[in-house]
Structure 1
Amino acid sequence: MRKYVIMGVQGSGKGTQSQLLAADLDLVHISVGDIFRSHVQNHTKLGAQVRRAMSAGELISDDLVESVVRNRLDDHDWNFGFIIDGFPRNGRQAEFFMESFDIDGVIHLELPDDEVRRRVLARRLCPGCGMDYNLIADRPEVEGRCEICGTELVVREDDTPEALTARLRDYHEKTRPVLELFGRKEVVHDIDARPGPDEVQQQIRKALNLPPYVPSADSTSR
């Protein structure tokens, strides 16, 4: 059983790399951000709390994040292991996590702030079906329209320049110290997230001593 944490600032490709790794290794990809966004889209009580924080560019409270992660991991549907994306984000969350699980590796995707801004501010969301787009690498055929349902694309509430600046500040002040905490166990692998997804995945496989990544036909045709 393998248990990995993937870390990196927003826009570094955590979701993409987690999915590639999970598909090959039969891991469960647990995205804390996706869990919260699902609550927002379904207008739950938790979603209302998350939406207020996201709109202000703030991080969700530790108690709320830990509760969501604990409940998700308690499902025990990860027979071969998991890769968790979006957690932990600070020292308290890291301590909570390390007390509960033996981590096999922490993947840290490194990306300069200027590239983060370029990637994140190009993202668009379909409010109709929830499909994500990026105008740099995944521009829809019809400008500004979702290819699935035709709904007009919007900028996510937490993707404004002001909110992004706040998140970057929080990341550097609160999340990076987590890497030092994990580093005491010598399980942190720094990965350059600037190249394309396939090359980044190859770096991850090499760092974790896993078999090389073999891109699918769809991947190589990009």
Structure 2
Amino acid sequence: MRKYVIIGVQGSGKGTQATLLARAFDLVHISVGDIFRWHVQSHTKLGAQVRRTMAAGDLVGDDLVEGVVRDRLTQHDWNYGFIIDGFPRSARQAEFFLESYDIDGVIHLDLPDAEVRRRVLARRLCSRCGMDYNLIADRPAEEGRCEVCGGDLVPREDDTDQALAERLRQYHEKIDPVLELFRRKEYVVTVDARPDIETVQHEIRRRLGLPFSTAVQEA
């Protein structure tokens, strides 16, 4: 059984890399961001709270995140292990996680802030079906139009210069202590997130000692 944490700033590709590892090694990919987005799109009480927080450029509070992660992991559908994306986001969450689970490695996707800004501000979301696009690598054939349903492509509500600047500030303030805590346990492998998806995936596997026999297919 393999249990991994993947850490990276917005736009670093951690969701894509986690999905590739999950497919290749029968891991359950647990994305805290996806869980929160489901609540937002489903208009739940939790979703309304998350939407207000994200629109202000803030990170969701520790108690709420811990509760969501704890509930998800108690489902025990991860027979071959899991890779968790978007958690922990504070030293307190990291300590909670280390006390509760034995992990095999922490993947840190390193991306400069300037590249984060370029990638994140190019993201678009279909206003009708919710399909994600990135205008750098995934530009639709018709400008501003979803190729799946024909809906309008719009920026995410929280993808503004001001909100992104605040998220980057909070990310570094909170994540640097998390990485330091994991480094003291010798769990962390840091991988440059700037190359293409396949190159990053191969470097992750090399650093974790995972086999390369499974083909890398883009998520």
**Other-structure match for 1:155:** 155
CA distance in 2, matches of 1:138, 1:150: 15
Aligned equivalents of 1:214, 1:70: Cα separation in 2: 32
Report if aligned partners of 2:20, 2:216 keep a CA contact under 8 Å in 1. no
* Structure 1 position 14, deviation (Å): 0.3
Aligned partner letter, 1:22: A
C-alpha deviation, 1:201, in angstroms: 0.1
Alignment partner, residue 133 of structure 1: 133
- Amino acid in the other structure paired with 1:188: V
CA distance in 2, matches of 1:111, 1:40: 27
In structure 2, the residue matched to 1:215 is 216
Q: How big is each residue's C-alpha offset from its partner over 1:150-186, in whole Å with a ceiling of 9 and x where there is no partner?
A: 1101110111111100010001111111000011110
Give distance in 2, aligned partners of 1:94 and 1:203: 24
Other-structure match for 1:117: 117
Question: Residue 83 of structure 1 aligns with which residue?
Answer: 83
Match of 2:34 in 1: 34
What is the alpha-carbon distance in structure 1 between the residues aligned to residue 94 and residue 62 of structure 2?
Answer: 11
1:7-46 alpha-carbon deviations (Å, 9 max, x no partner): 0110000000001100000000000000000100010000
Give 1:214 shift. 2.4
Identity among equivalent pairs (%): 73
- The whole-number CA distance in structure 2 between the counterparts of 1:106 and 1:15 is 14
User: Unpaired segments of 5 or more residues in structure 2?
Assistant: none
Determine if the alignment matches structure 1 residue 70 to structure 2 residue 70: yes
Superposed CA offset, 1:32-70 (max 9, x none) = 000000100010000000000000000001110000000
State the match for 1:52 in structure 2.
Answer: 52
Instruction: Write out the 4+ residue segments of structure 1 that deviate beyond 2 Å after TM superposition.
Output: 213-216
Structure 1 counterpart of 2:191? 191
What is the root-mean-square deviation of aligned Cα atoms in Å?
0.8
- Matching of residue 108 in structure 1 with residue 115 in structure 2: no
2:134 maps to a residue whose letter is N
Answer yes or no: is the 8 Å Cα contact 2:36–2:47 preserved in 1.
yes
Give the aligned partner of residue 166 of structure 1: 166
TM-score (norm 1): 0.96
Matches of 1:10 and 1:215, distance apart in 2 = 22
AA partner of residue 89 (structure 2): R
In structure 2, C-alpha distance between the alignment counterparts of 1:176 and 1:153, rounded to whole Å: 34
Shift of 1:127: 2.2
